Every structure is written in structure tokens, then in C-alpha cells.
Structure 1
């Protein structure tokens, strides 16, 4: 009997960070043990040295890269496989900022390829929980020159040039490569990004680790990567209706929509898409029904990969549930 591809879950890859906390355990039920500084859960990753491993079904124990080698376009779609081959193009994370992250920037595709033989890093954030008064940094308040930037950096007042945004659950920020940014203290979010682990740390608030050491800064590398333009609308505005699907981000690298359900059954077909689908649980719980009434549960803090060959699913919730739905667009970036 032929075994068909099905909704795939993966073992979280947990990362200790100097700014990490305990929300991944207390709010998202991650198995972090007694650690109090887990900052990231890599949910779906093809990054070398951090490749996700399947946790459910007959493919349990196989890595994402092994699935790509075996199933190729059946897993990711014809055009996606033609473009990316055996590289999975997206990286999905949950991030718990118990303290402010460093102020940083990521290079675009061209610069990352030249320097690191890597993709660039465009990303987006969906805020799942935020302590009262929490804020993040995205972009400059206004256009600045390189000279102004370097002077402010030297004088340790870079913060004065940057745009700060108080946040609440459901807020979305799209962070194109080149935009200076930092996640603030008290924020739990889902991050969708290109497959890249290239980060240029600009300023780390003179923070020291347990050994009394400061972390490396990348002042010179960052200079050529930064977009010095400022102003404008940094937060992504979107409309959402209950028991509906709302597109929130459309970029050359990924398209993200919000599925907002409340005791509803949603029929989904992906015949027009030549891509895998990623579902990320950001609130509540739902069942995914597929292949003659087989079921898989997705709860807040879980991520599921829907293979490109699985063209029809049903999403059923018994209460309030929100899922992010992510896929690769046609005609993706060069």
C-alpha cells in the first residue's frame, strides 16, 4: 500500500540565549527542562547544523533534508524545488525576549551571497504575547546619513535615531533585509524568515555574559547592509474577520495569511499553489483533517508542514483559534 505524505510535525530545536526566558515553556509548552534562558525554538529549519527532524507519522526520525532528497517537488512544489533544490527556503521560529535583543541588521541576497554564500534574511514578526508596555525597534525615525549613524553609534546614543513601537498581541512587523531592528523585552513572537543565519550585531547595550565577556559587534559589515532611509509606516496594518482567511504579508520570499476561527470548519484547497504550506499555531487549537478523515492537532506553539502534494485539508476548531498560513509565492525573488 502506498504511503502518502501527510501534515508533518518536527522536533523543536531549542536555543539558549543571553536574553532568553521561560515563556516557551510556560506559554508554548516546550520541553526546556530547568533552563531559564531559552530564547528561541527553531520549529522548521534546513539550516546546516540545525536541521529539523520529523516527530510524527511513518516518517518520524527523518530529517527535513532527507525528505527533500526523497520527495523533492512532492514535498515543496515544482517551482520551489526547481529554484531551491535541496535547500528548504524558510526558517520558522518562536522567540521569547526576556530581555531586549541586540540592535541588528541582516544583509540582502546579493550581499549575503557575496560574503557568506548564503541567502539574505528578510523576515516578519507576529506578536503572540507582550508584557504591558513592551516595545520593539524597527527602522529609523527619519532618514539618516552614514556619518550621523556612526557618530551616534560611537556616542552610544543610536537608540535616539531608531523608531520604537509599543506592541500588543496580533501586531505584525515586516522586516526587509537592511532594516535595523531589535525585539524588546517582554515579547513572545513567531518569526518567519528566509533560510539564513547571518546577523550583523550593531549594538548590544554593553551587555556581558556569565563569563563577563561582551558579544562580538559587526560594525563594518553592517555599514554596507543598512538601509538608512526612515519614517513611514513600519507596523503592518491588516484587517481580519472571524472564520475567514486574511492576507497580512506578501513579499517575494513568502506570503503569510491569518486564519481566524471560532468553532468553525474551514475547507482549504491548494490546487492553485505550487508550494508547500506552513501552519503556525498562534492562539488556541484546531484539527487538520486529511486523507479520508485522518486527523492531526495543531495548538498554540506548534508548527506543521503541509506537503505540496496534499492539495486538500479541512481545518476544524471547537473554540477560538488563530493560525498563520505561509507559502512561497509564484515568481519569487531573484
Structure 2
């Protein structure tokens, strides 16, 4: 694909080497868990990246790490202003895990005589919520994010850091029907905003979520927005409530194809077409959630193929099993 697509951590034990190679070749990245990832997984990721990079692709494959910071050790009932033992334990755990990844990556690169990079750390931090007219509370949240940000850059100085839903604008129960995610005060360290495209077949919402988040980013001096994409899953409308996140949503493949086209081809993201589509050129990368080939998302593979075909401007959808017909002789 024309852009790097990171993801939620891959379930390595579910991937054959052949499938992992093909997925990595198409997406340009292998994503693993910073909390539960092992040195063996890093070793395998480096080995596969080496095989893919042997063909000298335009975009070399690399590794990303997912991490849910401030979710593991920090006291669940403590305010963000607390900097006691669990605050320190959270940062110590982050440091330990990042150093484990760094050392495993160095060992694997030496073993395979490669220089595979860790190019992204994908932070999911949904523990804190900002408050209106509470500067002390909000500053404490910012300080916690900055502490994690600085910790990672100390270990991986050139890595991209992505904050899930930073500055995201999404449908909400407000007079306008829209709301801004309250996880961030938006003065924390970070180079990108992010938004969840978890309603792919609702193409109007999908475009407007990205469009509004991009406008919010511009207000804060940020020119890059990262979409988190749910294929064959997402927020599905219900009769008894607004929506429910469904892991098995086999909507029409054309919508995954169309999103692949729009995100990956510059023509669709040009400023003069931002009202017709969205300013997709602000998306330098993308991230898949749920994880690729998650067994709970049975149709993910078909929608991924459709998305990739869109990204490659291949004007045909993958054939579904039930559509196959036998030739009569």
C-alpha cells in the first residue's frame, strides 16, 4: 500500500510465516504488544521484515509497539494529580518494557545482520478525562502524558508516538450531534491527532469524523491526523440504543474498498476536495483496530483484501465464497 498501516498487536501464534510475510509486505509494518510482547516475537518480526525488505520495497517494513500507558499500575481511583508509588510504578514498568523491546530488537538485528527499526509507539490511554475550568487537574493529565512521551523518546529517540483519539471529534449526544474526546487537554507533547473510523459503511460519518478532527488539529497547530480503522467490525446502529461495537459486521465490501481508495490516493485528499471527501492527505499513516485476522472478526480478511485493492486502485472486489460458481462442462 502507498502508506504504512500499523495495527493493534498481531496474534503471532495465529499467523503462519507465509501469512505474516504477506500481511507485512502489504502493510509495511508488524505491530506487537509492548506489555506482553516477547523477545521471541521481536526475533520473528525482524526475520519477516528482513525477508520482505530483501526485495527493496519503496517503503521498508518496520516494527511498532502498542502500549496502554496509565492503565497497568496507576491506582484506578486516584486523581491524575497523584504522583505517589503507583505513579512511579507505572513509569518504571513502561521503562522496563521499552528497554526489553530495545534489547530484543538489537539482539535480533545482530542475529540476522539487519537494521530493522522500531518506527512507532502506539499509546492507548483512556484512563483520564479532562475537566472544564480545572487547570490543575488538566495540567496533571498533561504531565502524565509528557512523562510517558519523554520516557519512550529517551529509549527510542527517533520513534513516532501516536496517541489514540488525541483531539478526536466524533458523533455524540450534544446539540450539534458531535463531541470532542476528553482524554487530552491538547497541550501535551505530540505531533499528530487521531480519530476512530469505526463506522466504515456510514461513509458520510466516516468522512466527517476525519474532516472535523482535522479542523480541530489545525486549531491547535497540528497538521497530521491518524485514522484508526475498523474493518468488518465497528459501531453498528441498534434499535434500543444508539450503537454497539460489533466484532462481526460483514457490511458491503465496497465501503472498505472506497476507504482504501480515499485514504491512500492523494487525489482524494487535495484541499479543493476536502468537502467532497475529506482532507485525507493529512493521514500520513493509518492504524487497524481490531487486530488483523482477529478470530473474533471472521470477515476481516475479505475486507482487508477489498481495502488493499482500493489502495492499489484495482477496480474489482474480492469474490466471496458464496459467489463462486462451478463451470458446467
Question: Under a length normalisation based on structure 2, what TM-score does the superposition of the two structures give?
Answer: 0.32
1 or 2, which has the higher helix percentage? 2
